[in-house]
Amino acid sequence: MKRILSCLCLMVMVAIAWAQPRAEYPRPQFERADWQNLNGQWTYHFDFVGSGLEKNYPESKGFDGKITVPFCPESKLSGVGYTDFINNIWYQRNISAPQAWQGKNIRLNFGAVYYNSAIYIDGKLAGRHFGGSSSFSIDVTKFLSDGKSHSLVVHAYSDTRTTKQPAGKQNVRLNQFECMYTRTTGIWQTVWMEPVAAEGLERAQVITDIDQKQIIIHPEFYSQSQGTLTVTLKDGKKVVASQNVKAQNASTVVLPVKSPKLWSPDSPFLYDLTYQVKNAQGEVIDEVSSYVGMRKIHVEGNKTYLNNEPFYQRLVLDQGFYPDGIWTAPSDEALKRDIELSKQAGFNGARLHQKVFEERFHYWADHLGYITWGEAPSWGMNTNDPEVARNFMTEWSEEIIRDRNHPSIVTWTPMNEEWWPDRVQYPRFVSDVYDLSKMLDPTRPVCDVSGGVHIKTDIWTTHSYEQDPAKLKELVFNGTRWFQTPNDYQGLYRTNVGFNRPTDNEKYDFPTYDAATMPYILDEFGGIKWVKGQDKETGNTNKSWGYGEPPHSLEEFYKRLEGQVDALMEISENVWGYCYTQLTDVEQEQNGIYFYDRSSKFDMARIHAIFSKKPAGSK
């Protein structure tokens, strides 16, 4: 009987999980116990000509179409699968606040909506958000405090062809080509509600200082009060440190950790962290569960250091696309599995490429010991346009604030491959983005433009898809002399490094740096195309895309791959890290270590042996 009941309970749990996709709490580093997941079936309507306001769509009680949130309408998992351009989409569902939430402020939270969004309740505007990759929250207390059912309508607008918005790898043509893929429009991350005290904790910046053996926390509150904030740090059930401070934004929490257990890929130890806000009477009015990994990442000379030891980054390019969910992982387990597959291949981290990953990915990276670079989907925007700069900086700041407490993130790289900028707006824009990133997070290095025209950066990066190992070594190794272009440009270049080599560089022979001033990382290389059955054909495939002439046999693939990695090992004193393109195939681009469905392509023991190589003296 017990076994039967156990099986029935399991079936019920599976049924609930199936009925509500992505049922896990979406903000794992700032978690409240009481919340309501709004994922599942909504109604929707495409508004191709943008007349929804004139047709009173904000007052809708339901549209004709049905869509599964949080999957975008382009995806199979949404139940829609419409892949043409969608400039406007409207969503609707009914919501209500439980009686138990009376007396609390009700926050309506969105993981991400691409690109701009307007939120209506019963036809009244509740809030707007600009930007398709950052999370946002709206106070909807005045709309829902009566406990009745109300109509929630979400309008999302996107036009990737305007060059006004960061689009990443979303295709600006109708059909996919080369390394451009299916678009994502509208809601693509979890939507949820939660009750929060008016004087509750809004956020907290956590800085780990391993040199002084302490954790420093800067809290921010929705409303300041005469109450207190108690922060408790635990190692399992053992209290390591605890401090009470005033519930004021000026308060600083300092937690001494006498014998800190450090976070690293080899030992991803995490402390539990609890925040309790108490009112003047000592009653707990808000409680948040979190965690923290004590670690330090910094650059010194031409190397990066993790916990004060030289750390060689063996990264893989991860674009975060899924065959059935596009930008949205089909499940929380799928996010975890991608990290496990990467580690199985021998990588110790990933450059998260042209996409802001959902926060659950960082949760798994923190727990599994996996370093990452955080990047915005900068492709598609005109970086010379001041309006674009204004839009991007707001969204980028929201992305840093959301993710800066995750120990697995070791570098911010806001943009990718900007090569043809002007000489006025672009340098100003990049410099401002660098400074903004440092103000919001002074603890991490910033790579301003991966593989592009560097203006202000802590790490020098270049991209080269030279397939011949000997030529790759020569191209990269010879690029050790630094030059600055004329004063009216203020951009920095290296010679002979592939994509970002200016043809007239030799004209400006006045070096301002030498090779020892910052780390040099080849953060895109490889991209060797391999298609199933390729060795039985001609080595060329018409329906797929990759870099260079593809190998004609598996053995040739292994030889080329190992040759490229060995070439980088031989010049590790000059090149301190790499990023291989890429973890999985993505649609027509078939140069992944795994197929698009995450099944194995190669002998993973052999692949692991290649990518686990590291220079002597590095961690």
The full DSSP string for 66-100 is EEEETS-TTSTTTT----S--SEEEEEEEE---GG
Considering only residues 209 and 424, tell me which one the structure prediction assigns the higher pLDDT.
Answer: 209
Going by pLDDT thresholds of 50, 70 and 90, the confidence category of residue 489 is very low
Homologous superfamily in CATH for domain 311-480+520-611: Glycosidases (3.20.20.80)
Residue 62 Cα distances to 3, 209, 538, angstroms = 43, 52, 54
Going by pLDDT thresholds of 50, 70 and 90, the confidence category of residue 514 is low
Q: Answer yes or no: is pLDDT of 420 > 70.
A: no
Residue 451 has phi, psi (to 5 degrees) of 65, 20
The arithmetic mean of pLDDT across residues 439-444, rounded, is 98
- Taking the CA atoms of 442, 445, 451 and 457 in sequence, report the sign of the dihedral they define: positive
Q: Answer yes or no: is pLDDT of 18 > 90.
A: no
- Give 614's Cβ-side CA count (13 Å radius): 15
| Mean pLDDT computed over every residue of the chain | 90
- Work out the burial of residue 276: count CB atoms within 10 Å of its CB; fewer than 13 is exposed, 13-18 middle, 19 or more buried: middle
Give the pLDDT confidence of 185-243 residue by residue, as tens digits.
Answer: 999 999 999 999 999 999 999 999 999 999 999 999 999 999 999 999 999 999 999 99
Q: Answer yes or no: is pLDDT of 453 > 70.
A: yes
Give the pLDDT confidence of 120-157 residue by residue, as tens digits.
Answer: 999 999 999 999 999 999 999 999 988 899 999 999 99
Structure confidence at residue 145 (pLDDT): 84
What's the one-letter identity of residue 362? H
Of the ranges 13-27, 65-79, 303-317, which one carries the lowest mean pLDDT score?
13-27
Peptide bond into 70 cis (omega under 30): yes
Q: Answer yes or no: is pLDDT of 418 > 80.
A: yes
Collapse the DSSP code of 80 into the 3-class scheme (helix H, G, I; strand E, B; otherwise coil) and give the result: coil
Of the ranges 302-306, 357-361, 499-503, 533-537, which one carries the lowest mean pLDDT score?
499-503
The full DSSP string for 367-403 is HHT-EEEEE---TTS-TT-HHHHHHHHHHHHHHHHHH
Q: What is the chain's Cα-based Rg?
A: 25
Q: Answer yes or no: is pLDDT of 375 > 90.
A: yes
The arithmetic mean of pLDDT across residues 66-86, rounded, is 98
Peptide bond into 243 cis (omega under 30): no
Give the pLDDT confidence of 543-602 residue by residue, as tens digits.
Answer: 788 888 899 999 999 999 999 999 999 999 889 999 999 999 999 999 999 999 999 999
CB atoms closer than 10 angstroms to residue 100:
10
Contact between 206 and 215 (Cβ < 8 Å): yes
Homologous superfamily in CATH for domain 211-292: Immunoglobulins (2.60.40.10)
Q: Which residue shows structure tokens 């990452």? A: 372
Task: Name the residue ranges covered by the structural domains of the chain.
Answer: 21-196, 211-292, 311-480+520-611
Q: Answer yes or no: is pLDDT of 511 > 50.
A: no
Considering only residues 483 and 396, tell me which one the structure prediction assigns the higher pLDDT.
Answer: 396
Q: Which fold has domain 21-196?
A: Jelly Rolls (2.60.120)
The arithmetic mean of pLDDT across residues 87-95, rounded, is 98
Q: Which residue shows structure tokens 């109509």? A: 151
- Report CA 532 to chain centroid distance, whole Å: 30
CB atoms closer than 10 angstroms to residue 215:
25
Q: Answer yes or no: is pLDDT of 8 > 90.
A: no
Of the ranges 88-97, 158-167, 326-335, 479-488, which one carries the lowest mean pLDDT score?
479-488
Of the ranges 3-12, 286-295, 363-372, 510-519, which one carries the lowest mean pLDDT score?
3-12
Structure confidence at residue 474 (pLDDT): 87
Quote the CA–CA distance of 496 and 483 in Å, as a whole number: 12
Q: Which residue shows structure tokens 């008016």? A: 198
Give the pLDDT confidence of 23-54 residue by residue, as tens digits.
Answer: 999 999 999 999 999 999 999 999 999 999 99
Reported pTM: 0.92
Residue 156 Cα distances to 63, 301, 337, angstroms = 15, 46, 31
Structure confidence at residue 535 (pLDDT): 59
